[in-house]
């Protein structure tokens, strides 16, 4: 019998790991102990080598659902004789302990809240070590009740007994609670289950209720009734943007047969999953643009009990915020921010420390593709391929902001923060930086930011007084995708994005960037045209279309089409042209985002974007609905390739040809062009690893087709979105390179 020390790292604290080890050791009759240390869990056992290996393999394969093991190491030490197997108190030493993201309610807890004889029957805060609140309630480490927002609730005798029993599912479950001792819900004069019934009654009657959930408030109404959904849509000032729908797994299965999507819907992360469910009896007001709807499961007991209490099987559950503002997190904030939407508030008494939006994902090639990363995923780190010296704070870009704090190989990417153009979101940005620093006990000694000096994030970086590293926007995109895929060098980044300041003072966006021998060069770009109205052009694809046509010398030919088919007034066309010709309020751009939006405007007739990338999304939607066959429009080798795409789009509109097939042809043509360029670089430079990043890769058809057709190795984002939410990760990763040549010749 020898003595072994086993070290486990990853998310292994606060997830029932020690009781799991206790039971496992007990099963093998092993003696020794298990304890938490600052990097994970430490186990000492007396064991034969044979049993040790079975024990190690069980740790990996049978670990608790919320545990995420990064490494297991073991070695033999001098013999110590143990009499029993024990769970020892935590050891404190220097290191980083990972925090578990919040997850959906587990099956065991679900059973309890549905069982009338259980003391937690219909109790909306039922949880255990295998499920739900974590990051949203943790203030600092170590993860103990006093460092969470549960500190003000004193456990009753029964809860305490569960908490103290190593064999119980609630052993050291910090948020452990029951109706006798835990948080409660209330609305007006009603509390507990009566409050939930009252809420259901309002929803059944066609009302809208603001419901405090896990990471913030939702605005909830019956998704099958047109009037409340339309009212909510109008109040949110989102005429065409899809609203998320909450329903049971058993319900969604009747309408969707996409296995990977359903699996993701039902996963512990429980993001909103975009699915096609044309037959679901949901108000068309939920998504007037297409049959695609974001579905989310009732991932907390509160949502589950509420959905059960309602007559409908489908609830709209959209984040409780005004347009472009962060999600509200407490009574006062919510009532102030949401009074325009409703006078009904279902509050609860458990404070939210870290506010989190719902994550949003779709499926590409049978694997999840994340569009917004927050609840369920944050603050789990991305492991960098190489280490950062010291500790770096990367503050991200301007839109879809996230921040990253990196130390060693850990890059802690924050939850989605939002667009930094209003004071509330800027406050949320600073709040998140401070909270992440406290949570992990990290003090950055450097800061990385975008090269754009006017971004709120860049200004913040300057104000920290720390040494600053500026990282060009699209380099950061490429780096983020490299970080996620463990790549260090020799890659070609196909970065198709909306806006980022280039090193030449113009706006870049559709860029082929190469990193070879640690030298970054810009090989190719999308067509460079004038962006009239500067940043405002993103809202005005009709005006950008005029700019492209003018650039390609096609304006005279299609001026009539612009006015008669796309209803762009002649005086607007003249004004745009004169702005461009006299270079007033214009900046040159190679944006791929503007390119797609303009083609989208030409085809779909959407000349004003009511929300970000509106015309481009319509363009993709049209292409998605066409059959999977396409015909060539032009030759990818032609110097007039891009011009020919615009001619084609204008001809289609002029002739009233079917938009769906035309959109599909245009998409396929662009895919072929990208592959043509990429293969040329491969032949000339010997580069075989291709990186896809940038907001345009939220276009699923484009991403999917590229991966399907291209023979080279294509890497796309995995856990982090391809849009500007990845910028902070890229900025942080850039800091791991001590020598890097940036666009030097």
Per CB under 5 A, residues contacting Zn ion are 106, 109, 128, 130-131, 156, 159, 178, 180-181
**Burial 442-472, CB ≥16 within 10 A → b, else e:** bebebbbbbbbeebbbbebbeeeeeeebbbb
The DSSP result for 481-547, as a single string, is HHHHTT--S-EEEEEEEEEEE-TTSSEEEEEEEEEETTEEEEEEES--EEEETGGGGGG-HHHHHHH
Decide whether 129 or 318 has the Cβ nearer to Zn ion.
129
Reported as type and span, the H/E element at residue 633 is none
Shortest distance, position 127 Cβ to Zn ion, whole Å: 5
Q: Whole-number minimum distance, CB 43 to Zn ion, in Å?
A: 24
> Encoding tokens for residue 71?
């490494």
Q: Which is nearer to Zn ion, 179 or 444 (CB)?
A: 179
Beta strands in 402-506 (DSSP E): 404-413, 446-450, 468-471, 491-501
CB neighbour list of residue 654: distance below 8 Å, 6 or more residues apart: 558, 561, 565
Q: Which is nearer to Zn ion, 159 or 244 (CB)?
A: 159
Least CB distance from residue 707 to Zn ion, whole Å? 37
Closer by beta carbon to Zn ion, 193 or else 554: 193
CB of 110 to Zn ion, least distance (A): 8
Nearest to Zn ion of 129, 698 (CB atom): 129
Distance in Å, CB of 356 to Zn ion, minimum: 19
Least gap, CB of 164 to Zn ion (angstroms): 13
* Structure-block tokens of residue 64: 């608790």
Angle between helices 541-551 and 570-581 in degrees, nearest 10: 60
Backbone CA torsion sign across 241, 245, 251, 252: positive
Lookup: tokens for 427? 């406050």
- What's the closest the beta carbon of residue 128 comes to Zn ion, in angstroms? 3
CB of 153 to Zn ion, least distance (A): 9
Residue with Cβ nearer Zn ion (156 or 309): 156
- Tokens coding 86: 């024990």
Of 128 and 210, CB closest to Zn ion: 128
Per DSSP, the three-state class of 668 is: helix
**How far separated are the first and last CA of the chain, in Å rounded?**
64
Choice between 156 and 719, CB closer to Zn ion: 156
DSSP string spanning 568-614? --HHHHHHHHHHHHTT-SEEEE--HHHHHHHHHHHHH---S-SSTTH
3-class DSSP assignment, residue 208:
coil
Nearest Cα to Cα of residue 660 among 712, 714, 622, 631: 622
- Toward Zn ion, which CB reaches closer, 96 or 131? 131
| Closest approach of Zn ion to the CB of residue 45, in Å | 28
Burial class (CB in 10 A: 0-12, 13-18, 19+), 162: middle
Is 159 or 436 the residue whose CB approaches Zn ion more closely?
159
Residue 79 Cβ, how far from Zn ion at the closest point, in Å?
39
Distance CA 276, CA 262 (A): 11
């Amino acid at each position: 019998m020898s003595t072994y020390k086993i070290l486990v790292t990853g998310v292994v604290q606060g997830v029932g790991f020690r009781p799991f080890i206790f039971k496992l050791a007990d099963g093998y009759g092993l003696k020794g102990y298990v304890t938490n240390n600052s990097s994970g869990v430490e186990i000492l056992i007396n064991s034969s080598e044979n049993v040790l290996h079975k024990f190690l393999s069980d740790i990996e394969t049978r670990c608790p659902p919320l545990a995420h093991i990064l490494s297991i190491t073991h070695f033999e030490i001098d013999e110590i004789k143990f009499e029993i197997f024990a769970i020892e108190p935590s050891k404190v030493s220097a290191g980083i302990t990972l925090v578990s993201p919040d997850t959906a309610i587990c099956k065991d807890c679900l059973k309890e809240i549905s069982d009338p004889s259980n003391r937690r029957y219909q109790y909306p805060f039922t949880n255990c070590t295998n499920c739900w609140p974590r990051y949203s309630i943790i203030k600092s480490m170590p993860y103990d009740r006093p460092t969470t927002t549960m500190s003000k609730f004193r456990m009753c005798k029964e809860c305490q007994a569960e908490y103290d029993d190593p064999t119980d599912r609630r052993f050291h479950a910090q948020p452990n609670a029951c109706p006798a001792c835990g948080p409660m819900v209330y609305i007006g004069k009603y509390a507990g289950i009566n409050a939930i019934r009252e809420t259901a009654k309002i929803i059944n009657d066609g009302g809208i209720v603001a419901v405090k959930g896990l990471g913030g408030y939702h605005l909830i109404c019956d998704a099958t009734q047109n009037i409340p959904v339309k009212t909510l849509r109008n109040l949110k000032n989102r005429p065409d943007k899809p609203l998320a729908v909450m329903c049971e797994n058993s319900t969604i299965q009747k309408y969707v047969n996409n296995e990977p999507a359903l699996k993701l819907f039902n996963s512990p992360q429980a993001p909103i999953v975009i699915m096609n469910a044309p037959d679901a009896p949901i108000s068309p007001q939920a998504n007037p643009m297409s049959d695609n709807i974001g579905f989310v499961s009732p991932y907390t007991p509160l949502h589950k009990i509420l959905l059960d209490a309602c007559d409908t099987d489908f609830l709209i559950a959209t984040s409780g915020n005004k347009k472009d503002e962060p999600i509200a997190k407490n009574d006062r904030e919510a009532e102030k921010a949401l009074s325009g939407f409703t006078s009904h508030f279902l509050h609860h008494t458990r404070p939210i420390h870290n506010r989190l939006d719902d994550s949003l994902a779709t499926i590409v090639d049978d694997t999840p593709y994340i569009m917004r990363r927050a609840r369920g995923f944050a603050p789990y780190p991305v492991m960098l391929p190489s280490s950062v010296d010291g500790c770096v704070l990367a503050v991200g870009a301007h839109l879809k902001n996230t921040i990253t704090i990196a130390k060693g190989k850990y890059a802690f990417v924050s939850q989605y923060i939002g667009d930094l153009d209003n004071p509330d979101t800027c406050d949320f940005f600073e709040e998140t930086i401070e909270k992440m620093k406290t949570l992990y006990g990290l003090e950055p000694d450097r800061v990385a930011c975008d090269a754009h000096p006017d971004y709120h994030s860049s200004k913040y970086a300057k104000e920290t007084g720390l040494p600053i590293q500026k990282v060009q926007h699209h380099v950061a995109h490429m780096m983020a995708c490299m970080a996620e895929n463990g790549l260090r060098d020799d890659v070609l980044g196909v970065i198709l994005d909306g806006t980022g300041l280039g090193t030449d003072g113009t706006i870049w966006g559709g860029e082929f960037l190469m990193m070879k021998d640690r030298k970054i060069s810009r090989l190719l770009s999308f067509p460079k045209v004038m962006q009239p109205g500067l940043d405002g052009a993103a809202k005005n694809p009709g005006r950008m279309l005029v700019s492209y046509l003018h650039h390609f010398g096609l304006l005279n030919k299609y001026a009539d089409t612009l006015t008669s088919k796309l209803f762009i007034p002649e005086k607007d066309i003249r004004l745009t042209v004169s702005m461009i010709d006299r270079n007033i309020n214009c900046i040159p751009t190679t944006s791929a985002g503007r390119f797609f939006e303009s083609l989208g405007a030409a085809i779909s007739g959407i000349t004003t974007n009511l929300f970000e990338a509106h015309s481009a999304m319509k363009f993709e939607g049209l292409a998605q609905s066409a059959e999977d066959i396409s015909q060539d429009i032009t030759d990818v080798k032609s110097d007039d390739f891009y011009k020919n795409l615009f001619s084609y789009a204008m001809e289609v509109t002029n002739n009233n040809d079917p938009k769906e097939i035309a959109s599909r042809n245009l998409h396929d043509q662009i895919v072929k062009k990208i592959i043509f360029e990429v293969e040329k670089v491969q032949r000339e430079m010997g580069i075989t690893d291709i990186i896809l990043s940038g907001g345009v890769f939220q276009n699923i058809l484009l991403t999917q087709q590229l991966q399907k057709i291209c023979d080279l190795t294509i890497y796309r984002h995995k856990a982090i979105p391809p849009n500007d939410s990845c910028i902070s990760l890229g900025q942080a990763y850039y800091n791991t390179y001590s020598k890097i040549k940036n666009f030097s010749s």
